[in-house]
Structure 1
């Protein structure tokens, strides 16, 4: 959950920078990465070999890694050891990773006896999961000290699908605690267990809530990762850290055993350095799941095939809404205009469109407050989780040690628990919000194929009705801060977004890796 009141955007950003880089956060709860894993890495991957691999794997994508396997330049176990080593090297600087799984090394060793399998799109690819997505045998914490020892009886559907596609889950990434739905005074990228994740490009807002997933990919600690979004938690950190993300249609990717905020809006999605990798991961995790009724009618398309589709003749809308333009920062208008020129050069037509203003005033917050309390308690009571905890018990335990467990307070948790909306009023509000958002976007879609925006400025529109979006690096502000364009479309039109994102990426090549110290 990253959408915020942007009515005073500059003040909000200043407060975020202060929170992230100046405010001291006392936390005795911080989870430490196990030293035994690092010792094993150092034993099994000599420094000389690490440096050799660095020439091939620094900022590598999936295609590059698969080429190493096919040409027998590197083994899967070496690649896994390399990325784990990088995590340890930079973790004290970035605080983007909360857990590293030693069994990932053993899983990679098992692949040595197998030939490269092109039928597995993620064969031997290391990946990190946001620490609210369950994988068997490891805590699924949402960044909360109260969940530090809570494991699930099985892996989430997303984790299982990744493994079936050949991926090796290396660990978990930090996040804004409770996916940024803990306090109105939050610090993007901060949790009691993970500390403060920082932007690898400089003293800029890291974004949230999927901060660790974005930073780990941006900094080359992992080639791809999985984050989650309720309203902006994929697209905003992707924009802030110069990575690609796809925020899927709600119902395309299972939310099974993902710590929830909102049944109406939650989804999980990939983060990568390029659109192709994001498409490969989305292809691997999309589809129906018996544990998530929202996926019952999932429409899965050929996302990899969409990468090379010609976008000539497509119509792209650029928002003329004043409420969106008021959020623009330095260089943002130039970024939009430059993107329009790129799409026009690719043969698309760009026209101004306007969403009905009421879409930016939907009462999303009351829906999320109601669902967070209900859905978190349902998750905690799930027999496959069975913590014996409730959100009320977590709040009360936090109160006993606010300095460590809730450094920025827990005002959203308080408000969610105290929410007194009736089930009938809640259902009516959900229906009203979704209809307003669907009608607004669908009306614009009568004129254009997709809508172009920046970062998370239009998140409330597509998040409210569960429509998809893609964010692609669009360059850097004068300060060096990354910025991304975000394109959104109609339900299950991820393939269209991938075609547009891939075309833009190929024509611009804006992304450059950060210079890490």
Structure 2
């Protein structure tokens, strides 16, 4: 179905990619996307070549190199740190569930990618793509621009041609936003489609891993392999997750998939940047010319301010509970056993951990109560009411929509370690808060910087969104290829 299978031997491809990383990631433009290489990658690739020579092919990812975000556990010699020096002492005790599935499918884990430390959930002035462990990842299109986050390294690595496939994670925007700004495809699947076991958490109500690739077909291929039930993650047994995996298993590509489809245009996500709006208007014309019925506009977020406050409250409560559970699982492989110890570690190593921004978010989470707190329960109820009952769910039902479309976000902003991210907005929140699927596809460039078009819809409808995104991709402008320019310049 996809094009991820290596044209040459797996070992030759690994050697080529490692050499490319030497000239682009470590030197040359110095993207700084890969934080650690797998010392066993070449040996694994040779083993996959041997299996293929013996007539054993595990599937379409057999021998295909994949990079993992550095918050996804691997039970090998590589570290899993979420970008923090607090976890940079010993490897995790076991593979994450999704890594187990990748290895079983014959994928070659090439290494770990840098990320926004603690997935951008530490301080108020966070700098996307920066971590104490990995330093600053740069946007391969324009090097002084942000790759966005928190799956910064995964998006930048795929865009720069360092790997065909990478895995990122999202709580709210951390897959789709860096993909948009780096000019690649990303899929945030329905919550529970992919097991979260072995992934450093923020919040169980919203966390999910997802694929990044240069095409919708390749992203779908990676998602099919990662998706699976897991008794250790109850979310994988939800009706929506089961529906999503069933649809992925039967996924077929249809060039005419957009004909007669009803797409809601979420104008509330416009206005982030005028150039992004211009590209989105061109994308809407493409969709309309392909036969889509555009319902324009539709309202997706009932009360943005109230939803934002409730979401943040939910994340703070769940982060404290979920991170404490994860750190307890890490046990002797971690120098910190709970959030309180992590806060103390950062204070003791402030020159390394907090040279640019602090840990106000950590401290706010530590002050929260447990998951039985009335404040948490109210936040949960408010999120469901505003994001689904009066928000996305209401819009889909009222207008009989197959999906919502909008610009994912604006062009990449400058990297600013002093002031932090210059975030102007995006469209990730509705799907993130409701656990719904979200796909972003490149739709063009502004000033040499990529911008993505988003498709999001009801939980469980992952395959349908992929079909729509694929059909759009066939008629969209060619995927932008990084030029590694030092900065944006006006050509006269």
Q: Does the C-alpha gap of structure 1 residues 193 and 160 become closer, same or farther in structure 2, counting only changes over 3 Å? A: same
Is it true that 1:441 corresponds to 2:378 in the alignment?
Answer: no
What secondary structure, in the 3-state scheme, does the structure 1 residue paired with 2:179 have? Answer: helix
The SS at the match of 1:307 is: coil
Pair 1:454 & 2:400 matched: no
Pick from 64, 70, 84: which aligns with 1:125? 64
1:308 equivalent in structure 2? 254
| Structure 1: unaligned runs, 5 residues or longer | 1-60, 69-73
Aligned with 1:507: secondary structure?
Answer: coil
Contact 1:151 1:385 in 2 (8 A): no
Aligned to 2:361: 412
Kept after mapping to 1: 8 A contact 2:71/2:199: yes
CA RMSD of aligned residues (A): 1.9
Q: What are the residue-to-residue correspondences of 1:41-56 with 2, within 5 Å? A: none
Q: With the length of structure 1 as denominator, give the TM-score of the two structures.
A: 0.83
Of 136-145 and 417-426, more deviation after overlay is shown by: 417-426
406 and 356 in structure 1: CA distance in 2 versus 1, 3 angstrom threshold? closer
Find out whether 1:498 has 2:466 as its counterpart: yes
What is the 5 A alignment of 1:193-212? 193-202=133-142, 203-212=144-153
Partner of 1:347: 291
- Contact kept, 8 Å, 1:306 with 1:496, in 2: the verdict is no
CA contact (8 A) 2:4 2:64 kept: no
**Does 1:474 pair with 2:443?**
yes
Residues 176 and 356 of structure 1: is their aligned pair in 2 closer, same or farther, counting only changes over 3 Å? closer
Relative to structure 1, the CA distance from residue 405 to residue 80 in structure 2 (aligned partners, 3 Å threshold; closer, same or farther) is same
Question: Does the 8 Å contact 2:438/2:465 carry over to 1?
Answer: yes
Query: Is the 8 Å Cα contact of residues 302 and 387 (structure 2) preserved in structure 1?
Result: no
CA distance in 2, matches of 1:296, 1:64: 29
Shift of 1:82: 1.2
Give 1:193 shift.
0.3
Q: How does 1:50-69 map to 2 (within 5 A)?
A: 63=3, 65-66=5-6, 68=7
Q: How many residues align?
A: 447
Please tell me whether the aligned partners of residues 62 and 122 of structure 1 are also in contact (alpha carbons under 8 angstroms).
Answer: no
Aligned partners of 2:331 and 2:337 also within 8 Å = no
Q: Distance in 2 between matches of 1:449 and 1:287?
A: 25
Separation in 1 of the partners of 2:194 and 2:301?
A: 29
Provide the secondary structure at the position in 1 that maps to 2:95: coil
In structure 2, the residue matched to 1:188 is 128
Q: Which residue in 1 is equivalent to 2:327?
A: 380
2:187 partner SS: strand
| Cα contact 1:121–1:284 (8 A) shared by 2 | no
Question: CA-to-partner distance for each residue in 1:157-204, whole Å, 9 max, x for gaps?
Answer: 010111122211010000000000011111010000000000011032
> Is the Cα contact below 8 Å between 2:283 and 2:476 reproduced in 1?
no
Q: Tell me, in whole angstroms, the C-alpha distance in 2 between the residues paired with 1:484 and 1:283.
A: 22
Equivalent residue of 1:201, what SS? coil
2:283 is equivalent to residue 332 of structure 1: no
Runs of 4+ aligned residues of structure 1 deviating over 6 Å after TM superposition are none
Cα distance in 1, alignment partners of residues 378 and 408 from structure 2: 30
Query: TM-score with structure 2 length normalisation?
Result: 0.87
Q: Tell me which moved more, 239-248 or 302-311.
A: 302-311
CA distance in 2, matches of 1:334, 1:76: 42
